[in-house]
Chains A and B, each alone.
Chain A
Amino acid sequence: MPQFESHFFSSLIFWEVVSFGILLFILYKYAFPGILSVLEEREKKIKDSLDQAERHRSDAEHRLKEYEAKLSAAGKEAEAILAAAKERAQRLLDENEQRLTAEAERIKGDATREIEQERRKALQDIRAQTTELALMVAEKVVQRSLTETDQRKFADEALEALSRSQQR
């Protein structure tokens, strides 16, 4: 095989070491630092972005919880206000009703009393007029003057009779 012809070995070894050395130097000096630093920078950037995203997420979650708590607190408050308002309205309604009932009761009572009074007064008037009328009639019928006592007696008897007939 041509690869085993040893008289080329010295020049191949020499030039290989030289070329490899040069390549190593160039890459070490000018290529690898740039590529490695870009890789690291990108890694760092990605990591930072992920961290930031994670931070934002937990922040948002925290805020959401806060809002939810606030919302439920507000809901409870609204319920309490509503309940209080209902209670108050109910109380007002009850009070009004009581007051109106009492008023109506009072008006009814007044009216009944007045009617009763008027009735009694009317009855008295009727009794007085009837007595006079009876006296007049008796005087005319008897044509004689009776004593005051007789007159009263007759009148009472007549009245008695009248009221009995009236009651019947």
Chain B
Amino acid sequence: MEESPLHQFELQNWIPISLGGLDISINKAVVFMWIVVLVAAVLMVMAGSARKLVPGKLQSLAEMMVDFIRSMILDTMGKEGMRFFPLVATLFVFILFSNLIGLIPGSYTVTSQIIVTAVFSFLVYGLSLIVGFMLHGAKFLGILVPPGTPGWLVPLMIPIEIISQIARPVSLAVRLFANMTAGHVMLAVLFSLTIGGGLLIGWLPFAFTVAIYGLEFGIAFIQAYIFSILTCVYLGDAFHLHGHDEHAH
């Protein structure tokens, strides 16, 4: 084993830039963010400008994805949730393309950086808090007391609910980061075993590499889906406090 399986996540400052004392140097992860944005934008805009009633392949795929996200939003938030469609759909597209592009050997998986997923999760969770307080005012604090809690349990429930609320952004960020990191680590370990094992035994870890690679492809989709559906759920909770409305889950 010539290198650590974690080596692939290391970053070097390629072009050091500083903006008012803030270090915004260009590194591999930043470059791949740009690539993700470029690829996603080009494909989606192409699909969006086709506008054919009988769609081609690209338009079909994009429509499938958009329709999927739309029904996800309608299921969790209801019709007024469509205001958040651009945000949720862009999150989905960004995470999906990051995950998929990261699977190309030699590339970089942007979503394997905890800070990247943390920014998304705090953005989503912060937005849900803002929406909740804007819609319900101070009553939104009632989210800390689940409906039907007996009075004497309230002092116990509030700390528990606070912890569960804090767990939301943390778990959202860690889930995506950990899935991406673990997948790539596993691939790196298996592949270094293939190289190290030589022809005699190396085929076995190589077969696993291929299988895990297929699995990772699925995980790329699943994690993008989980991230965006949880976004919908958290925003939906803020919308329909305690599920008073008809679109509650």
Contacts and interface: CB of A to CB of B under 8 A. Distances in A.
B113 A12 contact: yes
B55 A10 contact: no
Contacts of A10: 22-24
A16 B33 contact: yes
Contacts of B125: none
Contacts of B119: 13, 16-17
Contacts of A5: 11
Binding site of B, secondary structure by majority: helix, strand, loop or mixed? Answer: helix
Interface residues of B, number: 55
B48 A31 contact: yes
Interface in B30-84: 30, 33-34, 36-37, 40-41, 44-45, 47-53, 55, 59, 62-63, 66-67, 70
B47 A42 contact: no
A36 B10 CA distance: 40
A149 B190 CA distance: 177
Interface in B1-35: 6-7, 9-11, 13, 17, 19, 22-27, 29-30, 33-34
B115 A9 contact: yes
B86 A28 contact: yes
B24 A23 contact: no
Interface residues of A, number: 37
Contact of A23 (B19, B40, B112, B115): B40
B53 A23 contact: no
Contact of A1 (B6, B62, B87, B116): B6
B226 interface: no
Contacts of A32: 48, 66, 85-86, 89
B51 A8 contact: no
B177 interface: yes
Nearest to A12: B115
A23 B94 contact: yes
A19 B13 CA distance: 18
Nearest to B34: A19
A125 B176 CA distance: 151
Interface string B146-171: 00000000000000000000000000
A158 to B, nearest CB: 135
Given A11-B27, A26-B45, A34-B48, A39 B67 contact: yes
A7 interface: yes
Interface in A20-49: 20, 22-24, 26-28, 30-39, 41-42, 45
A1 B180 CA distance: 14
Interface of A: 1-5, 7-17, 19-20, 22-24, 26-28, 30-39, 41-42, 45
Given A15-B24, A27-B86, 13 more contacts: A1-B181, A3-B177, A8-B113, A11-B24, A15-B34, A16-B116, A16-B119, A19-B94, A22-B37, A24-B86, A28-B86, A34-B49, A36-B66
28 contacts: A1-B181, A2-B7, A3-B9, A3-B112, A3-B115, A11-B17, A11-B26, A11-B27, A12-B115, A12-B116, A14-B24, A15-B30, A15-B33, A16-B115, A19-B94, A26-B37, A27-B40, A27-B89, A30-B48, A31-B62, A34-B50, A35-B44, A35-B59, A35-B62, A37-B51, A38-B51, A41-B53, A42-B53
Interface of B: 6-7, 9-11, 13, 17, 19, 22-27, 29-30, 33-34, 36-37, 40-41, 44-45, 47-53, 55, 59, 62-63, 66-67, 70, 85-87, 89-90, 93-94, 110, 112-116, 119-120, 177, 181
